Amino acid sequence: MNKNTDLGLLILRIAVGGLMLLHGIAKIGNTSFIGGMLEEKGLPYIMSYGVYITEIIAPLLIIAGFRTRLSSVAYVFGALFALFLVHSGQIFSLNETGGWELELLGMYISGALCLFFTGGGKLAVSSSNQWD
């Protein structure tokens, strides 16, 4: 069987970007809960708008394959921020079926890290820059 790495990277980009994009769309105009959590931790409220970069803009760029590596860095940063800000109490927890409590977030981070190391492939809007 022939390898088709570029098609696999396209599928990964669509999955990783598309799934996170839905989280970002749900937060449009409603970042007050994030701002409240940030203020509780002593961080400025304005940082809550970073969710638009990490959960909307970066996923759209990943799906398109434009500056995939750079977009993946922003994506991972946002996911790690959510992990430590919102889910820090669940990092070492298992769910009722024995899986990691944060397995979905772990898959988001892992997928984006894969794209950081591989780039977006040839089936991307741009593939010649070092950040693609």
pLDDT in tens, 77-106: 999 999 998 898 999 999 999 999 999 999
Predicted confidence at residue 64, as pLDDT, reads 97
Predicted confidence at residue 129, as pLDDT, reads 82
Picking from 130, 17, 22, the residue whose alpha carbon sits closest to that of residue 75 is 17
Least confident segment among 2-6, 7-11, 110-114: 2-6
Position 44 pLDDT exceeds 90: yes
Q: What is the residue-wise DSSP string for the chain?
A: ----HHHHHHHHHHHHHHHHHHHHHHTTT--HHHHHHHHHTT--GGGGGHHHIIIIIHHHHHHHTSSHHHHHHHHHHHHHHHHHHTSGGGTT-B-TTSSBTTHHHHHHHHHHHHHHHH-S-SSSS--SSTT-
Position 2 pLDDT exceeds 80: no
Position 5 pLDDT exceeds 90: yes
pTM of the model: 0.91
